[in-house]
Amino acid sequence: MNPLLSVRDLTVAFGKDASQPVVKGVSFDLKPGETLAIVGESGSGKSVTALSINRLVDFGGGRIVGGSMGLTRPDGAVLELSQAEEKTLVGIRGREIGMIFQEPMTSLNPVHTVGAQIEEAFRLHRGLEGQAARQAAREALDRVRIADAGQRLRYYPHQLSGGMRQRVMIAMALAGNPRLLIADEPTTALDVTVQAQIMALLAELKAEMGMAMIFITHDIGLVAGIADDVLVMQNGVAVEQGRLDAVLDAPQHDYTRHLLNAVPHFDGGRAARDDGTRTEGRAKPMVAVRDLMVRFPVGRGLFSRNPGAVHAVEGVDFDLVQGETLAIVGESGSGKSTTARAILGLVEATRGTIDAASGHGDRPIQMVFQDPFASLNPRLDVENLLAEPAIAAGRRVDAALRERMTFLLEKVGLPTDCLARYPHQFSGGQRQRLCIARALMLNPDVVVLDEAVSALDVSVQARVLDLLIDLQREFGLAYLFISHDMAVVERIAHRVAVMYAGQIVEIGDAGAVLSRPQHSYTRRLIAAVPGMDRRRQRYDVDTTPVPSLVRPRGYEPPRADWVDAGPGHRVRVE
């Protein structure tokens, strides 16, 4: 069979300088109805490759400086995409090559209804007008499993959740019945259960319509579930490519092996840490949280009839002892970050107590934030950044303090002569190391890590996790590790607490919770996590809606009942 798309030596450069291309000679063939996954980290050129195929790269300042891309048209003729005129390309885009993007939040036009945006696609590709276009748009929304399609057509993008918007994007991309769909990290911005829904939907629609797909991702675990062929990219070069099983089972290139082995992959609790098992009741907790409750008032104002509150955190209890990592996992809106912020006093607890044992420093609890770009003041140099906790504690910047700075810089693996540098001179991973060093300046006992590795590239993630484990052992630190990423949690946690809708639904040893989940939500969450061993496995389409956290005034949740599922493993009764 002729390939649908045949790419040879594709070379793409930005700006006027063609000597430093971003994509350097990538070649592949894609057969009709098959899926090619392009895997790589940021800067690997995987997205640029994707955008080159429908030539959207032209609008971002990119140029195809070499190679060819032959697209077989329905009539059998081959169109050379790299040479095609913009006029021809407009007829190809959407009709023969559809595309969906990473950021569903910004990829829809905010001033047009989703209905209008889908109808436009039907108008362009099928010539449908008025009622017929509306009817087609409604059917398209039905097809991507949006309930109440007729109603939703009138919604504006900002009124829909991220998962919904991505479905709208899919509905729009499929309006023209394209024979090739390019999906550029379509699930990266989504929660893991929503990701599973979108992946299931894509697999189903692809089978139904017999279309080919190019699936761009940084997560090799996702690839296992959907791809026929895999292409691994690093620094603009395709370092390895082949059939799915060959690449996953017998990787040839070091980088592929690194992606498969060094990077965190979820392993069903088998890879959980076994060092430093906790002796229940013996160790004095460094932090004891009891019945923590955080509520944010909503709808308070002159005209609102029913003021209520968002019950962001509802009756959370846990202990954290010296030297252990407690991971709080949950999806967006579960209250995990609010819990962390309440412990640091960044949000006020509505009720409950947070007891911190007096440790050896002035401030025994420190925090590392998610975004290393936002948590360092861009106008301060490293010395001033590291000095801030000490200055806040009333110390002077003297030789002893500078000595501590260089000591910690060395500990976190940064050059010790970088005190005069500014944050923009560091990479994301280095900045996060800087944040960790800053958190350790006052010799704390507990570090709260709020999605501390989530913004990092996967291989950087692995190294920062290793660093955190080393530091924990050396300084006897306790970590409260907030994350949505089960693979990362499995690597670092001794114990895991699963949060859902503001409450802990299950808590226990990492190995036990991740391998034998008891609560239905924990099971759902773990079932949604992609893994290397779940090859070509369909995810279930599960559309359980998240309950609203907005409660009327005076609402009190029912008392929680717990059952023991093993030593230290407690599950909330549903």
Partner 1 sequence: MRIIRDIASHPTGRVGAAIILLYLVLALCGALGLTPHDPLQQFRIDRLQPPSATYWMGTDLFGRDTASRLMIGIGHSFIIAFASVGLATLFGTLIGLLAGWWGGLADGLFMRAMDVLLAFPAILLALLIIAVTGPGTFTSIAAIAIVYTPIFARVVRGPTLSLKRRDFVDAARTFGSSQRYVLSRHLLLNLVAPLTVQVTLALAWALLTEAGLSFLGLGTQPPAPSLGLMMSEARNLMQQAPWLLVFPGLTIMLGILGFNLFGDALRDILDPRTQRRTA
Partner 2 sequence: MNYLARRLLTFPLILLGVSLLVFFSIRMIPGDAITAMLGTEAGLLTPVQRQALAAYFGIDQPVVVQYGRWLAGLLQGDLGISVTYGKPVLTVILERFPLTLELALLAMVIALGIGVPAGVLAATNNERSTDVVVRILAMLGQSTPGFVVGLVIIYVLSVYFGFVPAMGSFTPLWADPLANLGQLIFPAVTLGFAFAASVTRISRSAMLDVLSDDYIRTARAKGVSGSSVVWHHALPNALIPVVTLSGVEFGYLLGGAVIVEQIFALPGLGRLTLDAIGQRDYALVQGCVLFIALNFLIVNLLVDLAYAALDPRIRLSAR
Residues whose CB falls within 8 Å of the CB of residue 127, separated by 6 or more in sequence, listed in order: none
Count CB atoms within 10 A of the CB of residue 147. Answer: 11
Asked if residue 333 binds partner 2 (CB under 8 A), the reply is: no
CA 339 to chain centre: 20
Pick between residue 54 and residue 366 the one whose CB is nearest to partner 2: 54
CB 334 within 8 A of CB 501: yes
CA distance 153 to 156: 8
CB 215 within 8 A of CB 223: yes
Pick between residue 236 and residue 444 the one whose CB is nearest to partner 1: 444
Query: At 218, phi and psi to the nearest 5?
Result: -100, -5
289 binds, among partner 1, partner 2, none (CB under 5 to 8 A by kind): none
Subset of residues 435 to 464 that bind partner 1, contact rule: CB under 8 A: 435, 438, 442
Q: How far is the CB of 19 from partner 2 (least distance, A)?
A: 21
Asked if residue 545 binds partner 2 (CB under 8 A), the reply is: no
Q: How far is the CB of 244 from partner 1 (least distance, A)?
A: 37
**Sequential DSSP letters for 518-555:** -SHHHHHHHHHS--TT-TTPPPP---PPPPP-EEETT-
Residue from the set 147, 207, 250, 391 that interacts with partner 1 by CB under 8 A: 391
End-to-end CA distance of the chain: 54
And the tokens for 349?
Answer: 């607890």
Subset of residues 130 to 189 that bind partner 2, contact rule: CB under 8 A: 156, 158-159, 169, 172-173, 175-176
Subset of residues 305 to 344 that bind partner 1, contact rule: CB under 8 A: 341, 344
Q: How far is the CB of 274 from partner 1 (least distance, A)?
A: 32
Residue from the set 250, 393, 400, 420 that interacts with partner 1 by CB under 8 A: 393
| 3-state SS string for 115-140 | HHHHHHHHHHHHCCCHHHHHHHHHHH
369 binds, among partner 2, partner 1, none (CB under 5 to 8 A by kind): partner 1
Subset of residues 27 to 66 that bind partner 2, contact rule: CB under 8 A: 54, 56, 59-60
Residue (of 173, 178, 223, 188) closest to 105 by Cα position:
188
CA distance 121 to 344: 49
- Binding part of the chain for partner 1, among 34-42, 366-374, 541-549, 558-566 by CB under 8 A, reads 366-374
Pick between residue 55 and residue 431 the one whose CB is nearest to partner 2: 55
Residue from the set 30, 39, 99, 441 that interacts with partner 2 by CB under 8 A: 99
Q: What amino acid is encoded at 362 in this protein?
A: D
Binding site for partner 1 (CB under 8 A): 341, 344-346, 363, 365-367, 369-371, 374-380, 384, 388-389, 391-393, 435, 438, 442
Binding site for partner 2 (CB under 8 A): 54, 56, 59-60, 86, 90-95, 98-99, 101, 103, 106-112, 120-121, 124-125, 156, 158-159, 169, 172-173, 175-176, 299, 301-304
